[in-house]
A and B are shown apart, each in its own frame.
Chain A
Amino acid sequence: MFLEINNLHKHFNTKTGNLVVLKDINMEIQRGEFICAVGASGSGKSTLLRQIAGLDQPTSGEVKVDGEVITGPGPDRGMVFQHYTLFPWMTVQQNTEFGLKLQRLSKKERREKASTYLEVVGLSKFAKSLPSELSGGMKQRVAIARALASEPKVLLLDEPFGALDVHTKELMHQFMLELWERTHLTVFMITHDVEEAVFLSNRIYALGARPGTVRREMSIKLPERTQHVKRNSTFHDYRDELMEIMRGHGQEALIAA
């Protein structure tokens, strides 16, 4: 097992008492899989990803990557955040190199690797631009290149395309699939967009809210991965089933909120 989440619980101590955000999460992800976790807003998706990234410690349970228990953040798990997190004073090239700089690679190695991954995300031409000069989709692609430059074991994505318009989103989906086919990366992506999850992943974990638990695990087998497949009845079946799960628990969440 490549990425393992065992009996993970996460509580927060808040003013109103003990808030159970994640309850008994178990996941198993193989090397090279593209996995999506789908859940409504507030179902604890970001919290879950933070435990995997090591930015936060679970209340109980553990996360293992390649057999090792996670105790803190590290470049072996590349993370793309829900909000834009490029360093505004660095150019696209410098942003992409930054992780390698922190890991003390030589200048030459840094430049070569960063250029390679900028090429992969199709932004070589913008190497000298500042983040403020990029569109939202481009910013997230730089963030992906920055994470990839450290050659991580797994790429963690927290609703990376949530803020993009429908058309840009479709382009980014195409891009993600090409990237995944080319690099055989292990991808763990979080989203509230059911169609996005069905279109991209091999397997989906559907999360229920308050507390966040795994409601259903679903393998996705589609005849093809192009925009046409979205009109296919198999695609619709997967989508409707997931919507049903989310709808049921969405109402609970609303009452709880």
Chain B
Amino acid sequence: MSHTEPVDRSTKSLGSTVFWRLAEDIPRPLQTGLMIASIAVPLLLWWLLTTFGSIDPTFLPSPANVITAFGRLWSTGELLQDTVASLWRVGVGFFMAVLCSIPVGVLMGSFASIRALLEPLFGLVRYMPAPAFIPLLILYLGIGEEPKITLIFIGVFFFNSLMVMDTVKFVPKDLIEATYTLGGNRLQTLLQVIFPHVLPGILDASRINLAAAWQLVIVSELIAATEGLGRRISVAGRFLRTDEIFVGLIVIGVIGLIFDLFFQYLLRVSCRWAAQKR
């Protein structure tokens, strides 16, 4: 016993500093524990509040109410239909925006001429909130799928182009010059050095902008749609079905989180060299 005591004390004194280590990893178990607590504690509080707080369920439904509502919406197929509708809009709009913004951003970052031509315009449009375009889009494109997809495109394209441009600006000049001394021409340098170097940055930018796209689709559905998760929430709100609002919000959050994890995974498998640094 007398041997274990000092050891115990040393781990304890270390323990207090482990939590606040600057820019360093924390032990695996502590990390897992904190991550679980991050979700579990609010859930527990919610449960305690609704069980012992005698709160009107139309104001704050209990976790059990929400699970029941989830079952109900799932069994009728409405939830799946709404989710698919929202996912499809985001998928198309985001994919097109990313597809266009990658070459535009890389060109803006690589060539000062193209940057001078586009940056003022993009910088201006970027500060116009995408939802502010909704009335115009309805005027021009009606209330079908087109305005929603266009909205997502507008909301992602300008931001993503500028973010991709910034990653290109950070390619070390030495690497580009090294390529020239190895016999590379400008096209080879662009495709075989600049592009692979910025790929992780592009994935990161796209990941951040996917979150924006996901928010925009919900906003667009709140305003005009016949199905979609945003529509589900606004209808539920009109009929005071608070439990269904919660179902909608949670599904939206979980899908967003899955997107994020997917992009992180993509980054890890496609850019092993960059994933190590992060």
Contacts and interface: CB of A to CB of B under 8 A. Distances in A.
Interface of A: 53-55, 72-75, 77-79, 81, 83, 85, 87-89, 98-99, 101-103, 130, 132, 146-147, 150
Interface in B171-219: 172, 174-175, 177-185, 188, 192-193, 196-197
Contacts of B182: 75, 98-99, 102-103, 146-147, 150
6 contacts: A54-B181, A79-B181, A85-B172, A87-B175, A102-B182, A146-B182
Nearest to B197: A89
B59 to A, nearest CB: 54
A150 B193 CA distance: 18
B273 A73 contact: no
A89 B181 CA distance: 19
Contacts of B192: 98, 101-102
Contact of B183 (A53, A89, A102): A102
Nearest to B271: A89
Given A83-B174, A85-B174, A89-B196, A78 B273 contact: no
B12 interface: no
Contact of B272 (A55, A87, A101, A130): A130
B273 A85 contact: no
Interface in B142-191: 172, 174-175, 177-185, 188
Contact of A132 (B177, B178, B180, B276): B276
B177 to A, nearest CB: 5
B269 to A, nearest CB: 13
Interface in B40-75: none
Contacts of A132: 273, 276-277
Nearest to B272: A130
B274 interface: yes
Interface of B: 172, 174-175, 177-185, 188, 192-193, 196-197, 271-274, 276-277
Given A87-B193, A130-B272, A130-B273, A102 B181 contact: no
Given A81-B174, A87-B175, A102 B273 contact: no
Contacts, number: 67
B180 A55 contact: yes
Nearest to B174: A85
B181 A73 contact: yes
B183 A150 contact: yes
Nearest to A130: B273
A139 B172 CA distance: 17
Given A87-B193, A89-B274, A132-B273, A55 B177 contact: yes
Contacts of A81: 174, 177-178
Contacts of B179: 98, 102
A146 B271 CA distance: 22
User: Chain B CB within 10 Å — which of A55, A75, A102, A132 has the most?
Assistant: A102
Contacts of B177: 53, 55, 73, 81, 85
B79 to A, nearest CB: 42
Given A102-B184, A103-B183, A79 B178 contact: yes
A223 B272 CA distance: 50
Contacts of B271: 89
Contacts of A85: 172, 174-175, 177-178
Nearest to B188: A102
A98 B174 CA distance: 15
Contacts of B196: 87, 89
Contacts of B188: 102
A73 B174 contact: no
Contacts of B174: 81, 83, 85
A137 B180 CA distance: 23
A78 B179 CA distance: 11
Contacts of B272: 89, 130
Contacts of B180: 55, 72-73
Contacts of A55: 177, 180-181
Contacts of A73: 177, 180-181
Given A73-B177, A85-B172, A130-B273, 17 more contacts: A53-B177, A55-B177, A55-B180, A74-B181, A75-B182, A81-B178, A85-B174, A87-B197, A98-B182, A99-B182, A102-B179, A102-B183, A103-B183, A132-B273, A147-B181, A147-B182, A150-B183
A77 B181 contact: yes
